Amino acid sequence: MKISAIVTIPPYASFIDEVVAHPIVSGLRLNTVMPLRESPRELLERLAEYRQPVWVDLKGRQLRVTEPALPPFTEVKLSHAIRVQTPVDAYFSDGNERVRVAAVDGKRLILEDGPRRMVGPGESVNIIHPSLQIEGTLTETDRAYLAAMKELGLTKVMLSYVESTSDAEEVNSLLPNAEVVLKIETQKGLEFARREKYKHGQLMAARGDLYVEVLHPHKIIPALKDIIQADPQAIVASRILDSLAWTSVPVSADISDVAFLMEIGYRTFMLGDQVCMKHDSVMEALNLLWEMGK
């Protein structure tokens, strides 16, 4: 059983050399919400020097907070203008916080109450309602990265919240030779994956948001099976060995989770932000995946 891993790399981590040298590492993923001290072009040029494929993760239609917001009288500004029937629930903190949205005004969510903390820029927001319409797809930051990739001859793109063929076509219009991994993160995305299979690019079971978007937690299981059936080469991402971010020994459930993913056919794992922020946690996760894949 050959296992490979794509690692989310903090742009200024001191341990990149050690990560890229690990036997199962097959690429680096750049989360484009991370703050930079340089231009996207300069960063990509620097990461390309490590001679591992660099995957640029574009946010697409994913809803993210753009400005700090303070309760109790909170409005949250989003990366995209939306339309949705209100009142409606919105989920923050990986689905752990549910708040009621009283009204929507373009990119503004006007909340009835909470979250009872500061909401920071870059946080994802999930609104799971059939009436939800998100205006536009690629963000200005996405377009800036695509322009830099074109200049440098880079081609590998991960696209968040894919729900139709037109999503990938928009990327290809700006980067004609793009290799696009289609991140499946919503119920509409699941319908697309089941219908279109993998005709338009490699699929990714992006469990960070998908776990929230399926709404009933147990439904993540058939979702993961549907994606690997639609694309036997699909990547599975996020919520993988996250306990290592807090302790040097993974919890039993994390090991069982990885074993289940391998059992149903996943061979490429993408480690998410949480476990990749520190040297010890990311290296332990890579070592564990390597041992489990032998």
188 pLDDT exceeds 80? yes
CATH at 218: 3.20.20.60
What's the pTM value of the predicted model, to 2 decimals?
0.94
**Residues 87-115, mean pLDDT to the nearest whole number:** 92
Residue 159 falls inside a structural domain: yes
Q: What is the domain range of residue 112?
A: 75-134
The verdict on 151 and 200 lying in the same domain is yes
Looking at 85, 118, 134, which one is the last position of a domain? 134
Could you tell me if residue 66 is inside a domain? no
Is residue 101 situated within a structural domain?
A: yes
86, 105, 134: which is the final residue of a domain?
134
- pLDDT confidence of residue 113: 79
| One domain for residues 155 and 275 | yes
Q: What pLDDT score does 199 carry?
A: 66
What is the mean pLDDT of the segment spanning 168-175?
94
Q: What's the average model confidence in pLDDT over 34-63?
A: 95
Q: Are residues 163 and 246 in the same domain?
A: yes
Q: What are 200-231's pLDDT values in tens digits?
A: 679 999 999 999 999 899 999 999 999 999 99
Given a cut of 70, whether residue 111 has pLDDT beyond it is yes
Residue with tokens 């509409």: 188
Of the listed ranges 110-114, 141-145, 184-188, 261-265, the least confidently predicted one is 110-114
Q: Are residues 153 and 16 in the same domain?
A: yes
Portion of the chain with pLDDT greater than 70, in percent: 98
Judge whether 122 lies within some domain. yes
pLDDT grade, residue 198 (50/70/90)?
low
pLDDT at 1 over 80: no
Task: Give the tens place of pLDDT for each residue, 148-160.
Answer: 999 999 999 999 9
Look at residue 168 and tell me if it is in a domain. Answer: yes
Q: Tell me if 70 is assigned to some domain.
A: no
Which pLDDT belongs to residue 35?
87
pLDDT at 211: 96
The arithmetic mean of pLDDT across residues 271-275, rounded, is 95
Taking the C-alpha atoms of residue 34 and residue 30, their distance in angstroms, rounded to an integer, is 8
Do 263 and 199 lie in a common domain? yes
* Residue 69, domain member (yes or no): no
Where a domain ends, among 111, 134, 157?
134
- How are strands ordered across the β-sheet holding 75-77? 75-77, 108-111, 97-105, 88-92
Q: Is the dihedral of CA 9, 12, 14, 16 positive or negative?
A: positive
The answer as to whether 67 is a domain residue is: no
One domain, residues 31 and 96: no
Domain count, the chain: 2
